[in-house]
Chains A and B, each alone.
Chain A
Amino acid sequence: MKLRLRVWRQKNADAPGAMVTYEVDGISRDMSFLEMLDTLNEELILRGEEPVAFDHDCREGICGACSLVINGDAHGPERTTTCQLHMRSFEDGDTIDVEPWRASAFPVVKDLVVDRSAFDRIIQAGGYISVPTGSAPEAHATPVPKADADAAFEHAECIGCGACVAACPNGSAMLFTSAKINHLNVLPQGGPERETRVLDMVAAMDEEGFGGCTLTGECATACPKGIPLPSITTMNREWLRATRKVKR
């Protein structure tokens, strides 16, 4: 396959950026999208140009590092991570636009690499159960109904890639935040911190400069792990409940 790529290039956080056009040839349909970029980078290095910087690590769809907006879609046209997108999803001769996640809470570091540390700070605000090592009761002391365990798992699947923020026209982190809150709040183990968790994490989310939710549903459509939109509704319910119960 022969392709024309238009890639966002930006030297560093402070430099202005622009779309730069590259032609790549000899692309196999079996390549992953990132392997296609590897091919481009090998050529760029040999030509004495700087390769395109992009985040990636496990390349099996679970670490959440890869983060490209391809033809306007976070992670590209398939519902998966960028690393699991293959070139067979494109046609010979296509022009493909590749851009970084866009959100003011995710500033560009270089080219297609952005800083997602805001997500870590949201987790730090309460996305945990306070249980110091060694203090845990016997695992079977608290049975968890299977339905609750499954619901917790469904939300715990979030890989923290940030596609939800990238896809949201408001740059909102509601889906990410709700996934963690719902994972922990549905479990009996998460009960004691149920109210403070949701209040603190939502406050941290606002603090980071993410936008509000207008329920466009773009986040859930882009989510490679299928975190559902009602996750946000559940978080809203938790938040209202906590607001009533906790005096601040």
Chain B
Amino acid sequence: MSYTNYETGAPIADTKAPDGPIADRWDRRRFEAKLVNPANRRKHTVIVVGTGLAGGSAGATLAEQGYHVVQFCYQDSPRRAHSIAAQGGINAAKNYRNDGDSIHRLFYDTVKGGDFRARESNVHRLAQISVEIIDQCVAQGVPFAREYGGLLDTRSFGGVQVSRTFYARGQTGQQLLLGAYQALSRQIAAGNVEMHPRTEMLDLVVVDGRARGIVARDLITGRIDTYFADAVVLATGGYGNVFYLSTNAMNSNATAVWRAHRRGAYFANPCFTQIHPTCIPRTGDHQSKLTLMSESLRNDGRIWVPKAQGDTRPANEIPEDERDYYLERIYPSFGNLVPRDIASRAAKNVCDEGRGVGPGGQGVYLDFADAIRRMGRDKVEEKYGNLFDMYERITAENPYEVPMRIYPAVHYTMGGLWVDYDLQTSVPGLFAIGEANFSDHGANRLGASALMQGLADGYFVLPSTINDYLARHPHAEAVDAEHPAVVEALAETEDRLSLLLSVDGDRTPDSFHREIGELMWEFCGMARTDAGLRKALDRIPQIREEFWRRIKVPGTGEEFNQSLEKANRIVDYLELAELMCLDALHRSESCGGHFREESQTADGEAERRDGEFSYAAAWEFTGTGAAPVLHKEDLVFDYVHPTQRSYA
């Protein structure tokens, strides 16, 4: 049966969110959830995979509550998780500015920003918790920016009309992560968290229908082991690296979530990927990753390309009347400040027309000449100095003299493992938090909301909801290492790695990663079409087949082997890519980060089709290359009524 010929299975529903007034739901859920007696908590083991904002905060908090936590990360230290690279800030409805912000407004903005593809209950809870996050982080010593009076400074971010974004210069993610890492370190020292750095989860162990452990490989010795627990929490981040080039860390990967999906966890909305408009363009085929520049640059920079195709003159020699400030031309009222997806798509369009600038024509100018003239160089330097320095270090071009070149890049994935209000996946006992789950951002994430969600999940939501699950399964028997499910998971992993090592072909892991990434960028990137997605869906199984014929992985499995790590991650990208394309194909509407060329208004804007697509698409795995089963979770909007976006 062809992969695209999927079946629609039983609808899926979130059975955990209480009904009633939205503002009371989180309180009610916490009250209704069963609790574990504090004296019994240490008898429960919880595995947490990942140590980013979500995983680090969850591990620390669960350990503080008295659970025995066994935690994993592939990095050499939990402090290096990629949350550390987040620049902008973290939203919270503190209303310190008295500018009309409130929990309800943050809730409203997030649902609307997500283009009405997120669950109201979850988003409202997120907005409620946002204020507690700031309190917690300040108490931990996170050095947020402050005013001269000693109070916290906030700024407006991502085009919202209130100043609710807390920040620590351009390194907010770093500072928040270090806060969580320090809390986690305290619990490691106390013996409440057993930390396994440089250990990568390679499979999930499901025994009698419940998640009971993982298979993981010690990256130094190569030893593959099983670890058992009463519940497993995945906090392994997003899957943007399926595109090869992205702003993700080089080793961020989808293996944990994909293996969980293969073991029964539904994968929701995989096609919802966010492409960030202001990244530094690639310089050639050697490019290994892309670097984001804060989108605050669009507040003062003007975006343009030459009017003529193939104009190779240096930017400063192109006269004013031969420049096309296309965002200002197409969107006169918002100009350069249109939302991320619109800015990204417009850049792609002008480059597709052959008017792109820089190496390979994959770039547009972001020009500060006007800003420097208007505000003076000093003011510009004060505002953007560190970003300009970063740009100059990478490109060796001085943005005070010549316009910056920018191009969109994959940045965040809104899709992920389907979870209910308790953040539990469709596999009982398996939880997913942070970017790894699909929940709160709908089809498009607002700026400064990722940090908020990761910490909300890890510090506050999961530690409350996981109690309910553990309390309902109080006397779980120890998992027998000889249980057929355990033996099978271990053997499958070992076989997969042995196979990778034994092919001894003639292509490197990176060459395959680049190939699948380019294919995804072209057909499942900024703009998607039925024909393009079908082409990609034809091509992916061929690449997969070629992969298993031609992959070359040197060395052995019983040692530190970075090629083997890479190759194994690509195995999963080659399957995940297929599901992303199928999801993008089936969702023939445009919404948020998902733009289908077939579904646009007369003036080229994304056209959402709520009648057909107001649901989260949760996919059930049926086998490699076999058509998955689609389970729809209907989205109901009682508080924020869907409207079509317009920025013209």
Q: Answer whether A and B touch in the complex at a CB cut-off of 8 Å.
A: yes
Binding site for B on A (CB under 8 A): 11-12, 28, 30-32, 34-35, 38-39, 42, 44-46, 48-51, 53, 55-65, 78, 80, 84, 86, 88, 109-110, 113, 115-117, 119-120, 123-125, 127-140, 142-146, 149-150, 152-153, 156-157, 159-160, 183-184, 187, 189-190
Distance in angstroms from B303 CB to nearest chain A CB is 22
Q: Would you call B250 and A57 a contact (CB within 8 A)?
A: yes
The answer to whether residues A62 and B136 also contact, given A12-B560, A88-B396, A128-B185 and a CB cut-off of 8 A, is no
Interface size class of B (residues with CB under 8 A): 35 or more
- Shortest A152–chain B CB gap in Å is 4
Given contacts A129-B182, A133-B136, A139-B134, contact A120 B141 (CB under 8 A): no
The segment out of B147-155, B368-376, B571-579, B581-589 that lies at the interface is B147-155
| A135 contact set on B, CB distance < 8 A | 139
Kindly identify which residue among A110, A117, A124, A134 contacts B559, using a CB–CB cutoff of 8 Å. A110
Residue among A32, A120, A130, A190 with most chain B CB within 10 A: A120
Closest 5 CB pairs of A and B: A143-B150, A128-B182, A136-B139, A124-B189, A30-B283
B286 touches A38 (CB 8 A): yes
Specify which of B174, B189, B283 is in contact with A125 (CB 8 Å cutoff): B189
Q: Is the beta-carbon distance between B394 and A189 smaller than 8 angstroms?
A: no
Q: Report the bound CA distance from A69 to B60 in whole Å.
A: 34
Instruction: Given A38-B286, A123-B182, verify A156-B175 contact (CB < 8 Å).
Output: yes
> Chain B residues with Cβ under 8 A from A34's Cβ?
288
Does B68 have its Cβ within 8 Å of any Cβ on chain A? no
In the complex formed, the residue of B with least CB distance to A65 is B80
Which residue on B lies nearest to A129, using beta carbons?
B141
Within the complex, what minimum Cβ distance (angstroms) separates B122 from chain A? 20
User: Complex formed: what's the CA distance from A55 to B251 in Å?
Assistant: 10
| CA A39 to CA B508, docked complex, whole Å | 11
Q: Apart from A38-B288, A59-B250, A142-B138, what are 16 other A-B pairs with CB-CB below 8 Å?
A: A35-B287, A45-B509, A53-B560, A55-B76, A58-B250, A59-B249, A62-B171, A62-B174, A64-B79, A64-B80, A80-B393, A137-B135, A146-B150, A156-B143, A187-B141, A189-B138
Instruction: Report the bound CA distance from A117 to B433 in whole Å.
Output: 26
A62 and B85 in contact, given A116-B76, A117-B76 (Cβ under 8 angstroms): yes
Give the chain A neighbours of B147 by CB distance below 8 A.
146
Q: Mark B276-304, 1 if CB is under 8 A from A, else 0.
A: 00000001101111011000000000000
B195 contact set on A, CB distance < 8 A: 120
Chain A: CB-nearest residue to B190: A124
* Chain A residue at smallest Cβ distance from B556: A50
Mind listing 29 A-B residue pairs with CB under 8 Å? A11-B559, A31-B286, A34-B288, A38-B286, A42-B511, A62-B84, A62-B174, A63-B75, A63-B80, A110-B559, A110-B560, A116-B76, A117-B76, A120-B197, A124-B186, A127-B182, A129-B141, A132-B64, A134-B132, A136-B132, A136-B138, A138-B135, A139-B134, A143-B146, A143-B149, A143-B150, A149-B146, A156-B168, A159-B84
Contacting pair A57 B286 (CB below 8 A):
no
* CB-based contact A86/B396 at 8 Å: yes
Is B96 a contact of A140 with CB atoms below 8 Å? yes
CB-based nearest A residue for B58: A133
Is the CB–CB distance between B283 and A123 below 8 Å? no
- B→A interface (CB under 8 Å): 57, 60-61, 64, 75-80, 82, 84-85, 94, 96, 132, 134-136, 138-141, 143-152, 168-169, 171, 174-175, 178, 181-183, 185-186, 188-189, 195, 197, 220, 247, 249-251, 283-284, 286-289, 291-292, 390, 393-396, 459-460, 463, 506, 508-511, 552, 554-555, 559-560, 562-563
Q: Specify which chain B residues have a CB less than 8 angstroms from the CB of A116 in the assembled complex.
A: 76-77
Question: In the complex, are the beta carbons of A153 and B143 less than 8 A apart?
Answer: yes
How far apart sit A135 and B60, CA to CA, in the bound complex (Å)?
Answer: 14
| CB neighbours of B174 from chain A (8 A) | 62, 157, 159
In the complex, the answer to whether A45 meets B79 with C-beta atoms within 8 Å is no
Shortest Cβ distance from B36 into chain A, in angstroms?
A: 16
A56 touching B169 by the CB < 8 A rule?
A: no
Partner of A50, one of B178, B390, B554: B554
Choose among A60, A115, A144 the residue with the greatest number of B CB atoms under 10 Å from its CB.
Answer: A60
In the bound assembly, the distance between CA atoms of A116 and B76 in angstroms comes to 7
Chain A hits for B132, CB < 8 A: 134, 136
Question: For the complex, what is the distance from the CA of A125 to the CA of B150, rounded to whole Å?
Answer: 29
Q: A139 — nearest CB in chain B belongs to which residue?
A: B138
CB pair B85–A84 under 8 Å, yes or no, is no
Q: How many Å from the CB of B229 to the closest CB on chain A?
A: 20
Q: Is the CB of A146 within 8 A of B148?
A: yes
Report whether B143 and A187 are in contact in the complex, using a CB–CB cutoff of 8 Å: yes
Contact for B394 among A65, A84, A125, CB less than 8 A: A84
Q: Which residues of A contact B186 (CB under 8 A)?
A: 124, 128, 130
Q: Is the CB of B552 within 8 A of A45?
A: yes
Q: Are B75 and A139 closer than 8 Å at their CB atoms?
A: no
Residue pair B288, A59 in contact (C-beta under 8 Å): yes
If A42-B508, A56-B250 touch, does A131 touch B136 (CB 8 Å cutoff)?
Answer: yes
B60 CB contact (under 8 Å) in A84, A119, A133: A133
Report yes or no: A46 in contact with B506, Cβ–Cβ below 8 A.
yes
Closest chain B residue to A46 by CB distance? B508
Is there an interface contact between B249 and A160, defined as CB atoms closer than 8 Å?
A: no
Q: Smallest CB-CB separation from B61: which chain A residue?
A: A133
Q: Is the CB of B152 within 8 A of A140?
A: yes
A49 touches B554 (CB 8 A): yes
- Which residues of B are found within 8 Å of A28, using beta-carbon distances? 283-284, 286
Nearest-neighbour CB distance to chain A for B86, whole angstroms, equals 9
Residues of A within 8 A of B506 (CB): 46
Contact of A149 among B60, B145, B189, B249 (CB under 8 A): B145
A32: contacting residue among B168, B178, B182, B288, CB under 8 A:
B288
CB distance from A46 to the nearest CB of B (A): 7
Q: Which of B60, B140, B393 has the most CB of A within 10 A?
A: B140
Q: Given A35, A139, A153, which contacts B94 in the complex, CB threshold below 8 Å?
A: A139
B80, A117: Cβ atoms under 8 Å?
A: no
CA distance A146 to B147 in the complex (A): 6
Structural contact, A183 and B80, CB atoms closer than 8 A: no
Least CB distance, A202 to chain B, in whole angstroms: 16
Find chain A residues with CB under 8 A from B57 CB: 133
Q: Is the beta-carbon distance between B141 and A63 smaller than 8 angstroms? A: no
Chain B proximity of A194: nearest CB distance (Å)? 12
Q: Known contacts A38-B286, A128-B183; decide if A63 and B85 are in contact (CB<8 Å).
A: yes
